[in-house]
Structure 1
Amino acid sequence: MLSQETLDYYQSWKRKQAANVEDDLSAVFNGFRDLYPTYNRLYNEIPTALKATGVVLPKRLEDNQKATKYVVQYIGASNLLTHLSKNNNDSDIESIDWILEEELFHIKLIQGQSDRNADIQLRAELNSTDAETKAIAILKVIYYVRCNMEHGEKHFEEHQRLLLQPLTNILVAVIEQLYELLSKP
């Protein structure tokens, strides 16, 4: 069960999302930036929910693991992929795959430098026939791009829409699914 603070936070995000009808570049950037804290708030509730079901977790949980591995563990890889498909996010996932294939953006950065081998591996995971590997890869892309925006440099240029719009679409679907599952008593 979600805390009242998280419920209020989510409802505030839903109102903000409903009011955002703009489609200019700043709306695309801000849309992704506004979504991530809601995702962060929800995935930070997952360890408590998993522990309540008897899952034993390490004492220290890394943020990247909570945002990827534990989200998939909580939702279920097949459930997440099915939900994304039902929400018409398959084309968004294909867009991310194309971006990685064409090297339009560097997704995995280490100290601000691209790691092409990591991007190649990420693309392989994104195309995996193993549901868990693919689901985690989708969430890794979101996590890495968020880190790139917060800790690196993301130029305010129109071509960024190619990356941010599909990620925003996917993130909305993931947030809604997480909220639904975490809200159940």
Structure 2
Amino acid sequence: MTFQLTEQKFYHRWNDKLKSISQSEYEYIDKFITAYIIHNFLYNLAVDLKEYGRGKDQYPVVGADRKKATEIPIKLLTAEKIVNTQGIRENVEKIRKTVRDGHFYIFRVPDPNDEKAKDEKVKDKEPINKEKIWLEKIENKNSSLEEYTQGFLDAIYQIRCNTFHGQKDLNSKQEIILKPATEIIIKINEMMYKELGGKEKEELGI
């Protein structure tokens, strides 16, 4: 399969929308959601173009969205390339610090089918601290680059869940976590688009 012109036009149309959103602290919800729409489009497209298991148990057509969001960018780009991109580590640290300081909580509910998650329940049968799963991957000095990258991709996916489905509080505090998350997504989107063979608007004549 190849990256079709209509698909590349879709990317550029939404990227133009993204660029048109101002840097106002009250528009970071708009900016994050728009960037994530592009991100979702790209990691789903990558499953098809790179034959990562679409229609199979690994990445079924329906479901497994978190799995795709946290694995496909790494498969396509490598964790090393993502982490070493300018600004990524700095923005991950901003997200980590915001959560550690108690300004925001990013809940990651353990997968009930995850054997490790089952083993990590406390005596009263309640799940472990929901922040623990992704924070440990980011903070553990022994984490591999892949684990570290999966950690912050998981955090961003949960920010996406909270933003898309939660209450939209239009206040300046949103910027604290949405700005670094958006900047990470934009960087990854640009790399994924190029890696999939996408061309610039000038080359496409649009």
State the TM bucket, normalised to the shorter chain: 0.7 to 0.9
Q: TM-score, normalised by structure 2?
A: 0.76
Larger radius of gyration: 2
Q: How many residues are aligned here?
A: 175
Displacement of 1:184: 6.2
User: How has the CA–CA distance of structure 1 residues 136 and 93 changed in structure 2, closer, same or farther, with 3 Å as cutoff?
Assistant: same
| Contact in 2 for aligned 1:68/1:139 (Cα 8 Å) | yes
5+ residue gaps, structure 1, are none
Query: Does the 8 Å CA contact 1:78/1:131 hold for their aligned counterparts?
Result: yes
- Assess, with a 3 A threshold, how the Cα gap between structure 1 residues 137 and 179 changes in structure 2: closer, same or farther: same
Matches of 1:75 and 1:176 in 2, distance apart?
11
TM-superposed deviation, 1:77: 1.1
Aligned to 1:119: 131
Q: Does residue 1:152 correspond to 2:172, yes or no?
A: no
Give the helix-richer structure, 1 or 2.
Answer: 1
**How far 1:6 sits from its partner (Å)?**
2.0
Residue ranges of structure 2 left out of the alignment (5+ in a row): 110-126, 200-206
The alignment partner of 1:51 has SS state of coil
Give the C-alpha shift of residue 134 in structure 1: 0.8
1:111-135 deviations in Å (ceiling 9; x for gaps): xxxx871213311111243101111
**Structure 2 counterpart of 1:69:** 71
1:45-99 deviation digits (Å, cap 9, x = unpaired): 121233279xx8636261111111122122111111112xx2x232211101101
* Contact preservation (8 Å) 1:6, 1:42: no
Seq. identity, %: 21
Q: 2:98 corresponds to which residue?
A: 99
Out of 67-76 and 161-170, give the one that drifted further. Answer: 67-76
Q: Is contact 1:13-1:38 (8 Å) kept?
A: yes
* 1:32/1:164 contact within 8 Å kept: yes
- Specify the alignment match of 2:39 in structure 1: 39
What is the one-letter code of the residue matched to 2:76? Y
* Alpha-carbon RMSD: 2.4
SS at match of 1:169: helix
By how many angstroms is 1:13 displaced?
2.4
Q: Secondary structure at the match of 2:134?
A: helix
Matched, 1:167 2:181: yes
Secondary structure at the aligned position of 1:148 is classed as helix
CA contact (8 A) 1:92 1:166 kept: yes
